[in-house]
């Protein structure tokens, strides 16, 4: 049994109202993040979780985007609930139907997910700083790509991708799904820019 007054209980911020929620009361649910175009892990307080979950359910039911559907399966898997149909590569509409049923189980609290192996707060701060440093170096390398002489464009590109890969791996280890999604989207964008504007120059 978890005691709510446990001084070691972790606290997280509700992604909707930004109030602090102590771990035993938090609801871990998937929600759509428009910046990265997929569903990510979010934390919600007692007041906000049901409306957010309804929104997620409606968006999931309405989407035909395979990457979006997959991101909900990944959300469940990241919290220890394996989605067999997703694993074996069933068509997206079938996986979506099962995921909607799983959302209903979250709603009825038949399943309740825990925050998971998040590191203690100090460690999270260290991870966040490490991510920020790597991201800064990656952005500097990306900027340098535009100024670089042709023979060093490729080096700048490799640096940018390398630092972002490092940031992504730190974020993964720290369980920061939002950051993983955001950094991956940034890396994909940089690769796209390189492929369309620079490939063949360096």
Region binding Zn ion by CB under 5 A among candidate stretches 45-53, 74-82, 89-97, 137-145 = 45-53
Q: Is the CB of 109 or the CB of 122 nearer to Zn ion?
A: 109
Check if the beta carbon of residue 48 is closer than 8 Å to that of residue 31.
no
Applying CB under 5 A, which part among 7-15, 72-80, 116-124, 173-181 lies near Zn ion?
Answer: 7-15
Stretch 17-36 residues interacting with Zn ion (CB under 5 A): 17
φ/ψ (deg, to 5) at 41: -70, 130
Minimal distance in Å, beta carbon 31 to Zn ion?
A: 12
C-beta of 58: minimal distance to Zn ion in Å?
19
Interface with Zn ion, residue 16, by CB under 5 A: yes
d(CA 36, CA 105): 26
CB of 49 to Zn ion, least distance (A): 8
14 binds Zn ion (CB under 5 A): yes
| CB 19, min distance to Zn ion, A | 5
Parallel, antiparallel, or unpaired for β 27-33 and 20-22? unpaired
Residue 45 interacts with Zn ion (CB under 5 A)? yes
CA-CA distance, 132 to 108, in Å (whole number)? 38
**Burial class of residue 122, CB neighbours in 10 A (0-12, 13-18, 19+):** exposed
Contacts of 152 (CB under 8 A, 6+ apart): 202
Q: How many amino acids of this chain bind Zn ion (CB under 5 A)? A: 5
């Amino acid at each position: 049994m978890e005691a709510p007054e446990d001084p070691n209980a972790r606290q997280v911020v509700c992604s909707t109202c930004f109030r602090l929620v102590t771990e035993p009361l938090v609801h871990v649910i998937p929600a759509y993040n428009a910046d990265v175009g997929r569903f990510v892990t979010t934390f919600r307080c007692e007041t906000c979780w049901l409306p957010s979950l309804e929104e997620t359910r409606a968006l999931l039911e309405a989407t035909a985007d395979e990457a979006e559907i997959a991101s909900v399966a990944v959300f469940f898997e990241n919290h220890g609930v394996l989605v067999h149909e997703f694993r074996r590569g069933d068509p997206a509409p079938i996986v979506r139907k099962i995921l909607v049923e799983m959302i209903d189980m979250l709603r009825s609290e038949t399943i309740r997910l825990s925050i998971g192996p998040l590191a203690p707060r100090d460690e999270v701060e260290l991870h966040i700083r490490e991510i920020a440093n790597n991201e800064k170096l990656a952005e500097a390398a990306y900027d340098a790509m535009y100024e670089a002489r042709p023979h060093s464009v490729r080096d700048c590109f490799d640096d940018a991708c390398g630092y972002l890969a490092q940031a992504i791996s730190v974020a993964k280890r720290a369980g920061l799904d939002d950051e993983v999604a955001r950094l991956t989207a940034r890396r994909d964008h940089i690769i796209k820019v390189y492929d369309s504007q620079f490939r063949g120059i360096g």
